[in-house]
Structure 1
Amino acid sequence: MSDDKAKTGAPDRDRINVNEDYELQYWTKALGVSADELREAVRAAGTSADAVRRHLGK
């Protein structure tokens, strides 16, 4: 199922999509990291928000 671009409210809280600007902005603010740090964490840990939090030590 594809994302509905008209619905840019709160992103899915279980997955991180660093290819969508609104999600990138949300997750960098929520996790207190830069966009580059978030991209690297997703590359290393996968798109699961929990896995990224663990990777970042959050």
Structure 2
Amino acid sequence: MTDDKTKRDFRDRDRVSGDEEYEVGYLASKFGLSIPQARDLIARHGNNRETLEREAKALGNR
């Protein structure tokens, strides 16, 4: 049976919501950052998940 294409999710999986604690916490724990570091990355680079993960990786390697 195929998926029902009329049922669409409203969330954008390519973005990180800086207002949601669980998303900021996940980003921080995934890359070994603190919550303030993760929030700073979101403020500095926007909420594009690909960009944030690239920058978080670079920050974690320092």
TM-score w.r.t. structure 1 length?
Answer: 0.63
| Aligned residues: CA RMSD | 2.4
Structure 2 residue runs of 5 or longer lacking an equivalent are 1-8
Q: Deviations over 1:1-54 (max 9, x none)?
A: 866xxxxxxxx6521112111112211111211111111111111101111123
Q: Following TM superposition, where does structure 1 have runs of at least 4 consecutive aligned residues deviating by more than 3 angstroms? A: none
Q: What does residue 50 of structure 2 align with?
A: 50
Paired residues, number = 50
The letter of the residue matching 2:24 is L
Among all aligned residue pairs of Structure 1 and Structure 2, give the percentage whose two residues are the same amino acid: 26
Q: Which has the larger radius of gyration?
A: 2
Structure 1 residue runs of 5 or longer lacking an equivalent are 4-11
Q: What does residue 15 of structure 2 align with?
A: 15
